[in-house]
């Protein structure tokens, strides 16, 4: 699995609009339809639709 990258300001705002605490998540994969997030501490994987 790829290492997660820090989120940009726009990505932080999008995650917060979806009700996700953006401070605890890293962006692993970003496609046109799907974002794959990794939790900073538990390594849990979450996939969300791209805006």
Please say whether the beta carbons of 38 and 45 come within 8 A. yes
How do strand 25-30 and strand 34-39 relate by DSSP bridges?
antiparallel
Give the Å distances, CA to CA, from 31 to 35, 36, 41, 42, 49: 6, 9, 24, 23, 9
- Please give the chain's pLDDT, 51 residues, in tens: 678 999 999 999 999 999 999 999 999 999 999 999 999 999 999 999 999
- Note the pLDDT of residue 37: 96
- Note the pLDDT of residue 2: 76
């Amino acid at each position: 699995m790829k290492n997660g990258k820090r989120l940009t300001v726009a990505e932080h705002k999008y995650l917060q609009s979806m009700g996700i605490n953006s401070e605890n998540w890293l962006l692993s994969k970003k496609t046109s339809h799907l974002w794959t997030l990794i939790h900073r501490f538990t390594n849990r994987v979450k996939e969300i639709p791209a805006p």
